[in-house]
Chains A and B, each alone.
Chain A
Amino acid sequence: MGSVRYLPRLIPLNNDIIHFDNEDINTSPDSVFVHGNVLSAEVITVNYDEEKKNVEWHYALRLSALVDGTFRVEIDEAEPLYPRYRSMVALDGEPKGDVLKLISNENGKLTLKNSQGHKVIITAEPLKFEFLDKNGEPAVVLNDNAQLFVEPLKVRNGDGEEDIEGSLAENFKSHHDSRPRGNEAVSIDVAFPDADQAYGIPEHTDGFHLKTTTSGEPYRLYNLDVFEYELDSRMAIYGSIPVMYAHGPKRSVGVFWHNSAETWIDVVNYGEGNVVSSLVNLVTGGQKRRVDARFMSESGVVDIFVLMGDAPFDVYRQYSTLTGVTPLPPKFSLAYHQSRWNYVDEADVRSVDEGFDSHDIPLDVIWLDIEYTDNRKYFTWHPIKFAHPAEMVGNLTAKGRKMVVIIDPHIKREAGYFFHEDCTEQGLYIKNKDGNDYEGWCWPGSSSYPDFHNPAAFKYFAERYRFENFPGTNKDVHIWNDMNEPSVFNGPEITMPKDNRHYKPSQDGQDGLASFWEHRHIHNEYGVWHIMATHQGMLDRSDGQFRPFILSRAVYSGTQRYAAVWTGDNMAEWGFLLASISMCLSLASAGVSFCGSDVGGFFKYPEAELMTRWYQAAAFQPFMRAHSHIETKRREPWLYDATTTSRLRDAVRRRYALLDLWYTLFYEHTLDRVPVMRPLLTHYPKEEQTYTIDDTYLLGDKLLIRPVVEPGVTSVKVYLPGRESHTVWYDVDSFQRHKANGYFTQEVTIAKIPVYQRGGSIIPRKERVRRSSALMEDDPYTLVVTLDINNTAAGTLYIDDGETYDFKSNKFIYAKITYEQTAMKYIITNSGNYPTRSWLERIVIAGIKSPPKSAKLIQDGKSTALQMTIHRGNDVLVVRKPAALMAKAWEIQFSY
């Protein structure tokens, strides 16, 4: 067996299989038992050499039934030499158990069942797990292809440089990996019967749905800072989320491979044209619907969650129940962000701030990249260029704006720098393979990296954010955690050597290899530790009062609980604009809803058309930040020609008009755990054409967005789903009504953003233009009602103070809004309240064929007659200034 890095397709040892010892199951009641929600059993590998069974190795198997249709399979060595690493940050607490009932145990088959009616059949020899949906059909099968594998830890002789098998240490370019523990890889294969497509396992650039990998590289998950990363590639980039979904007309299911080490994933989609037909026949018996996958990681244990679905909604919820959701973000963070590497000094920040005002473009946040620091020492300010940070921040906050500054994990090794001296003295840095402080090269030059596994380092880092420790910051200064893959310029693949050492709590009898974790074990979760420490620090600095905003580049399961993410150092090219959609869709389905790309592209310069289209697309993506490389031409919106500037202004204003929709969607995400930005198949799971669409998506279940991502086009093809359910879609600009019927041709000008509101929905808007979102707080609402074929519609609205945790003590409004022909109602569903001064400015009802003759508002027992205008050309009725207060329930009655 070779190294994991170079031989992703591990070949099992000849004659080795993994299975239950059949006799043991029957004769020894100790070897398999079900207790509560857990089945425990011993698994052995057997060598059949010379017609004789030789037991080779003992493993411990646990199968758990978890709440909400989820199972977990864990396989570890029965008695490992020392503990194997289990990812520590992916799960949002210990998963809650469901009931697991043993139904039968005969002929080497165990049948078990959870409370929802999902069955598991475990075949003993060879070992196989079949997970059946509620109809009793196999939905997920583990080890159908006999790729289950746990390489046992073995006693090493000598100094760790030579191996029993002679292939232990490894060289990559000039880098040497001592691999002190030897081989410790784990692997399993998963089959998804009836699946048309698989998706997930971000972060990659080859589109939303996964491609067959037999003739090419597998998908690789290993967080890396890739310079000028490529499109249409399965190469590893900044993020690694090992959750995969499989979808077909029958059901949606998923698996979550819980592992933080380098991971490779092979995929075979038997429905794909290029999969050899003999293989299709062999595996699926001619059935063209099936996807197989194989997960393999360099270390850890086999720990896989099976998400039984059965709708897309369900699998998203099941995954987010395990790993957590994005908590309600501070409202400003959903608005427009302006960044550049670098705004050079305080005067520059001031002029950008003023530029947005003089060009009447809303702006919420100005960002500072690494040059704001004193020679790239984090938690310091440049003594000349940023000599008055408090005053600078004050200038911004006076207009309701915020600032975000960057804090990377690399720490400059410079005598006299408090951070470095403290970490050195207190032993808080990651160690190299010899146990000394690891030194790598990054932005500041020679750098070391805090070892967040060490509680003292975590605490030290978090405390740096206290206002007294970071003078010039206040509650309105938020944090950007970049370079946290971690990026090491002179390291193997621009990251940290795998044999670096991380802290492990000292326990009895642990010394030598048992006394530390290697970087290889924890690599993909390092970034989460970084943002966790930041998150803790930001909570503590305001005594838990204000919601932190953090942006992270590294991504792993669990990132979503602490930070927003972006797609890293992209390029000012049309292909990267298109990729921003599929990359964020993939991340969103993997739990990370708060996603965006560098608007305009990081490298190179976007000409006017590309810049315009990027602003228009980003206006409808969750995180909207313009950012650019230090060597590129300046590109604040007013630096383009006046017409382009007005297009960019228009895109940003559209964003602000819909901020309350975004905010409501993010609130609802915390309740239903479904992505904010959704693939079409989420709501149209039986419509097969939607399965491969990744240039179009839904916001909630209300808006369909198909940004123009092609140069020089006068029309685009837009897919409108929902033909079977007679869905109608309204162009949000013209209120033109389209019946859902697959693709249609939308004519576009440079000003057009193809966006459609689903008939049957109600969307809140704030249409007054202010300088920042904070200044819109009291502004009135416009409700846009688009009618379905039954002339009804419904929507929701969430309102709170936008920045504190007071909503946890019920200081918010979550209202349900319904429209029927006779009445429109605004009902506050929660028992608390929020004293908003906002009021109802206007109601726009689209698709109204027979308008009412009169309308009256009823609020607080008072009745007021309302003015209405009907626009015959597009069947739009506008109700003028109902002026209802949004802090209380109201009703509008219509008479015909």
Chain B
Amino acid sequence: LSDVPRPRGVSLSKASLYSPSKDFTCFDGTNTIPFSYVNDDYCDCFDGSDEPGTSACLNSVFHCTNAGHRPQNIPSSRVNDGICDCCDGTDEYAVPDTCSNTCDELGREARAQAQQLAELHKAGNSLRLELIERGNIKRSEMGEQLAQLEKDKIEALKIKEEKEALKSDIEAKENEALKVYREAEEKEKERKAELEKEELLKQATEQFNKYDSDNDGLLSVNEIRVVNVFDKNKDGEVDQEEIQYFFGDNENVDKDTFVSSVWSLLKPLLMMEEGMFRPEQDDQEEHDEELPHEGEQHEEEQHERDQEGEDETEDIEQHDLNIDDQLNDQTKTYDDETKRLMDEASEARRLYNDAERAVREIESNIRTIQQNLEKDYGLNQEYATMDGECLEHEDKEYVYRLCLFDRVTQKSRNGGGEVGLGNWGEWGGEGDSKYSIMKYTNGVTCWNGPARMTTVHITCGLETKLTSVTEPYRCEYKIDLTSPAACDDSHFIQQQQKKESHDEL
């Protein structure tokens, strides 16, 4: 093969373009030069075609045959720079013996590696076919489920409508019956407010008169200096700060001012003095102490339960119950007919809420299945069964967790919370390698930087597992994942052939 005479650095496929018997025309046609100028270590062609075997042109390519291994094209700037780039050493001819020929050895290794990889793909391929089968089953099951849910939804909506009609009917009656009671209630409220106001005025006036020792209708600074209750911080004297607190910048206050502004500041102190009232936080503490002492374990569980409880349906139910409670409180004052209507209405509301919840649950299930059906699980559904599967990887500092088609997280081994490194975004490989890279984006934002993201690089392996996690760029993580889903026998062979034919150029 390599016996075909051609200038140094020229591949077999281009050998015919260099004919020693005639002048050489640059490939781009811009110049024609004597053939002796080819590879004379001076660049005459803009496209570099006259110097394939030297470093004279910026843009030319040196071809090494690398007999025993794969042929290779290198930028000709690497010719005679003292570094062996071709395994056959042909790129370093200026200084003899710079490089030894390592092609046989490398070729053997490469072939063994390729063989191994081919075997791996072959073995993995049968697992992949299983995954595909299960994936397809899963998908068709989801389709069936969806159809069933759509039916259920129609049924549930019907029930909901019925219950709603019943509910509004009985509620109208209940409302009518309660109207009388509401009006009475309003009046009672107004009366109470009036009374309270009077009481307040009375109390305030009483106190004012008590402190106004010279009875001149003005409360002066000196008068309150001697009254304990104005000693807010209980240090034994009414100091300037305290006077400022009650009087502002005034020297004295009249009765009206006292009632309208000073009294509201003074009253809590007075009540405290009289033991009628204790500051809120004290109450709280006492309350806490009354609770039976619980272990941390228990508290955490409690916490988790609380979190689980944060669900919209329950919130609404809670709200409804409150109304019922409020009404029930006053049951004793209602007549029997009203009470009966209220009970009925309460029951109708409960039934309607149940029906509404049933619809929502079905709708939520439909949404989930629809989303999953829309998800791209690979060319042949080979990743479908992995949705939601979580894999972990630990290094010296962190535990990484990848939940496929969901999210990536990082947790420090020294404690601390989880940090989101990205949520499922899309497949990100290029061209026909689309399914070799998964992108998880929009993780927690880095200080002064972008939101964290993770790319998952998938290669063929008999087991689905994480093999490494790195952070090659700040806040951009890279996970290596092996899976039989990436073992495609025929695709692999195609790729290998393509690579070899490319090298031949």
Interface on A for B, CB 8 Å cutoff? 344, 347-348, 351, 360, 384, 398-400, 630-634, 767-771, 775, 778-780, 841-842, 880-881
Q: Which residue of A lies closest to B447 (CB)?
A: A631
A399: chain B residues at CB < 8 Å are 83
Q: Which of A344, A351, A632 is in CB contact (< 8 Å) with B449?
A: A632
Central interface residue in B81, B396, B472, by most chain A CB within 10 Å: B81
Q: How far is the CA of A633 from the CA of B94 in the complex (A)?
A: 43
Q: Which of B77, B447, B476 is in CB contact (< 8 Å) with A769?
A: B77
- Indicate if the CB atoms of B75 and A633 lie closer than 8 Å: no
- Contact of B379 with A by CB under 8 A: no
- Indicate if the CB atoms of A770 and B77 lie closer than 8 Å: yes
- Indicate if the CB atoms of A348 and B472 lie closer than 8 Å: yes
A842: chain B residues at CB < 8 Å are 42
Q: In the assembled complex, how far is the CB of residue A675 from the closest CB belonging to chain B, in whole angstroms? A: 33
Q: With A632-B449, A880-B42 in contact, do A360 and B82 touch (Cβ < 8 Å)?
A: no
A360: chain B residues at CB < 8 Å are 75, 77
- Contact of B497 with A by CB under 8 A: no
Give 30 A-B contacts (CB < 8 Å), ordered by A residue. A347-B470, A348-B472, A399-B83, A400-B82, A631-B474, A632-B449, A632-B474, A633-B449, A633-B473, A633-B474, A634-B473, A634-B474, A634-B476, A768-B55, A768-B77, A769-B58, A769-B75, A770-B55, A770-B77, A770-B81, A771-B77, A771-B78, A771-B81, A775-B81, A775-B83, A779-B55, A841-B42, A881-B40, A881-B41, A881-B42
Interface on B for A, CB 8 Å cutoff? 40-42, 55-56, 58, 75, 77-78, 80-83, 94, 396, 446-450, 470-474, 476
Q: Which residue of A lies closest to B448 (CB)?
A: A631
Q: Which residue of A lies closest to B78 (CB)?
A: A771
Q: How far is the CA of A769 from the CA of B396 in the complex (A)?
A: 42
Q: How far is the CA of A384 from the CA of B396 in the complex (A)?
A: 9
Q: In the assembled complex, how far is the CB of residue A858 from the closest CB belonging to chain B, in whole angstroms? A: 20
Q: How far is the CA of A466 from the CA of B78 in the complex (A)?
A: 34
B474: chain A residues at CB < 8 Å are 630-634
Q: With A344-B471, A399-B83, A775-B83 in contact, do A633 and B77 touch (Cβ < 8 Å)?
A: no
Q: Which residue of B lies closest to A362 (CB)?
A: B77
Q: Which residue of B lies closest to A770 (CB)?
A: B81
By Cβ-Cβ distance, the 3 closest A-B pairs, closest first, are A775-B81, A634-B473, A631-B448
Q: With A360-B75, A360-B77, A880-B42 in contact, do A768 and B473 touch (Cβ < 8 Å)?
A: no
- Indicate if the CB atoms of A398 and B446 lie closer than 8 Å: no
Central interface residue in B41, B75, B82, B476, by most chain A CB within 10 Å: B82
Q: How far is the CA of A770 from the CA of B396 in the complex (A)?
A: 39
Q: Which residue of A lies closest to B470 (CB)?
A: A347
Q: How far is the CA of A864 from the CA of B201 in the complex (A)?
A: 122
Q: In the assembled complex, how far is the CB of residue B148 from the closest CB belonging to chain A, in whole angstroms? A: 49
Q: How far is the CA of A768 from the CA of B48 in the complex (A)?
A: 12
Q: How far is the CA of A360 from the CA of B446 in the complex (A)?
A: 32
A634: chain B residues at CB < 8 Å are 473-474, 476
Q: How far is the CA of A399 from the CA of B447 in the complex (A)?
A: 37
Q: How far is the CA of A317 from the CA of B56 in the complex (A)?
A: 41
Q: How far is the CA of A413 from the CA of B396 in the complex (A)?
A: 25
- Indicate if the CB atoms of B473 and A398 lie closer than 8 Å: no
Q: Which residue of B lies closest to A837 (CB)?
A: B94
Beyond A632-B474, A770-B55, list 16 extra A-B contacts (CB 8 Å).
Answer: A351-B472, A399-B83, A400-B82, A632-B449, A634-B473, A634-B474, A768-B58, A768-B77, A769-B77, A770-B77, A771-B78, A771-B81, A775-B81, A775-B82, A842-B42, A880-B42
B interface secondary structure, majority: loop
A384: chain B residues at CB < 8 Å are 396
Q: Which residue of B lies closest to A399 (CB)?
A: B83
Q: In the assembled complex, how far is the CB of residue A647 from the closest CB belonging to chain B, in whole angstroms? A: 16
Q: In the assembled complex, how far is the CB of residue A293 from the closest CB belonging to chain B, in whole angstroms? A: 41
Q: Which of B58, B83, B470 is in CB contact (< 8 Å) with A771?
A: B83
Q: How far is the CA of A351 from the CA of B473 in the complex (A)?
A: 11
Q: In the assembled complex, how far is the CB of residue B96 from the closest CB belonging to chain A, in whole angstroms? A: 14
A351: chain B residues at CB < 8 Å are 472
B83: chain A residues at CB < 8 Å are 398-399, 771, 775
Q: How far is the CA of A360 from the CA of B58 in the complex (A)?
A: 11
Q: In the assembled complex, how far is the CB of residue B213 from the closest CB belonging to chain A, in whole angstroms? A: 51
B449: chain A residues at CB < 8 Å are 631-633
Q: How far is the CA of A620 from the CA of B136 in the complex (A)?
A: 62
Q: In the assembled complex, how far is the CB of residue B121 from the closest CB belonging to chain A, in whole angstroms? A: 26
Q: How far is the CA of A632 from the CA of B474 in the complex (A)?
A: 8
Q: Which of B40, B450, B471, B472 is in CB contact (< 8 Å) with A633?
A: B450
Q: How far is the CA of A351 from the CA of B470 in the complex (A)?
A: 13
A775: chain B residues at CB < 8 Å are 81-83
A768: chain B residues at CB < 8 Å are 55-56, 58, 77
A769: chain B residues at CB < 8 Å are 58, 75, 77
Q: How far is the CA of A156 from the CA of B334 in the complex (A)?
A: 96
A398: chain B residues at CB < 8 Å are 83
A633: chain B residues at CB < 8 Å are 449-450, 473-474
Q: Which residue of A lies closest to B77 (CB)?
A: A769
Q: How far is the CA of A634 from the CA of B475 in the complex (A)?
A: 10
Q: How far is the CA of A778 from the CA of B80 in the complex (A)?
A: 9
B56: chain A residues at CB < 8 Å are 768, 841
Q: Which residue of B lies closest to A345 (CB)?
A: B470
- Indicate if the CB atoms of A631 and B446 lie closer than 8 Å: yes
A771: chain B residues at CB < 8 Å are 77-78, 81, 83
B446: chain A residues at CB < 8 Å are 631
Q: How far is the CA of A630 from the CA of B80 in the complex (A)?
A: 38
Q: Which residue of B lies closest to A635 (CB)?
A: B473
A400: chain B residues at CB < 8 Å are 82
B78: chain A residues at CB < 8 Å are 770-771
Q: How far is the CA of A630 from the CA of B474 in the complex (A)?
A: 8
B82: chain A residues at CB < 8 Å are 400, 775
Q: Which residue of A lies closest to B44 (CB)?
A: A880
A767: chain B residues at CB < 8 Å are 58
Q: Which residue of B lies closest to A767 (CB)?
A: B58
Q: In the assembled complex, how far is the CB of residue B372 from the closest CB belonging to chain A, in whole angstroms? A: 34
Q: In the assembled complex, how far is the CB of residue B95 from the closest CB belonging to chain A, in whole angstroms? A: 9
Q: How far is the CA of A842 from the CA of B42 in the complex (A)?
A: 9
Q: In the assembled complex, how far is the CB of residue A841 from the closest CB belonging to chain B, in whole angstroms? A: 7
Q: In the assembled complex, how far is the CB of residue A243 from the closest CB belonging to chain B, in whole angstroms? A: 38
Q: How far is the CA of A128 from the CA of B215 in the complex (A)?
A: 85
Q: In the assembled complex, how far is the CB of residue A206 from the closest CB belonging to chain B, in whole angstroms? A: 28
Q: How far is the CA of A767 from the CA of B94 in the complex (A)?
A: 19
Q: How far is the CA of A633 from the CA of B450 in the complex (A)?
A: 8
Central interface residue in B448, B449, B470, B471, by most chain A CB within 10 Å: B448
Q: How far is the CA of A767 from the CA of B59 in the complex (A)?
A: 12
A841: chain B residues at CB < 8 Å are 42, 56
Q: How far is the CA of A880 from the CA of B36 in the complex (A)?
A: 14
Q: How far is the CA of A347 from the CA of B56 in the complex (A)?
A: 33
Q: How far is the CA of A651 from the CA of B474 in the complex (A)?
A: 26
Q: How far is the CA of A767 from the CA of B447 in the complex (A)?
A: 44
A881: chain B residues at CB < 8 Å are 40-42
Q: In the assembled complex, how far is the CB of residue A227 from the closest CB belonging to chain B, in whole angstroms? A: 14
Q: How far is the CA of A136 from the CA of B449 in the complex (A)?
A: 64
Q: Which residue of A lies closest to B473 (CB)?
A: A634
Q: How far is the CA of A344 from the CA of B471 in the complex (A)?
A: 9
Q: Which residue of A lies closest to B396 (CB)?
A: A384
Q: How far is the CA of A309 from the CA of B42 in the complex (A)?
A: 48
Q: How far is the CA of A499 from the CA of B106 in the complex (A)?
A: 66
Q: In the assembled complex, how far is the CB of residue A383 from the closest CB belonging to chain B, in whole angstroms? A: 10
A344: chain B residues at CB < 8 Å are 471
Q: In the assembled complex, how far is the CB of residue A348 from the closest CB belonging to chain B, in whole angstroms? A: 7
Q: In the assembled complex, how far is the CB of residue B292 from the closest CB belonging to chain A, in whole angstroms? A: 45
Q: Which residue of B lies closest to A604 (CB)?
A: B448
Q: How far is the CA of A880 from the CA of B43 in the complex (A)?
A: 9
Q: In the assembled complex, how far is the CB of residue A263 from the closest CB belonging to chain B, in whole angstroms? A: 35
B40: chain A residues at CB < 8 Å are 881
Q: Which residue of A lies closest to B446 (CB)?
A: A631
Q: How far is the CA of A841 from the CA of B396 in the complex (A)?
A: 55
Q: How far is the CA of A775 from the CA of B41 in the complex (A)?
A: 17
Q: How far is the CA of A842 from the CA of B396 in the complex (A)?
A: 57
A348: chain B residues at CB < 8 Å are 472
B396: chain A residues at CB < 8 Å are 384
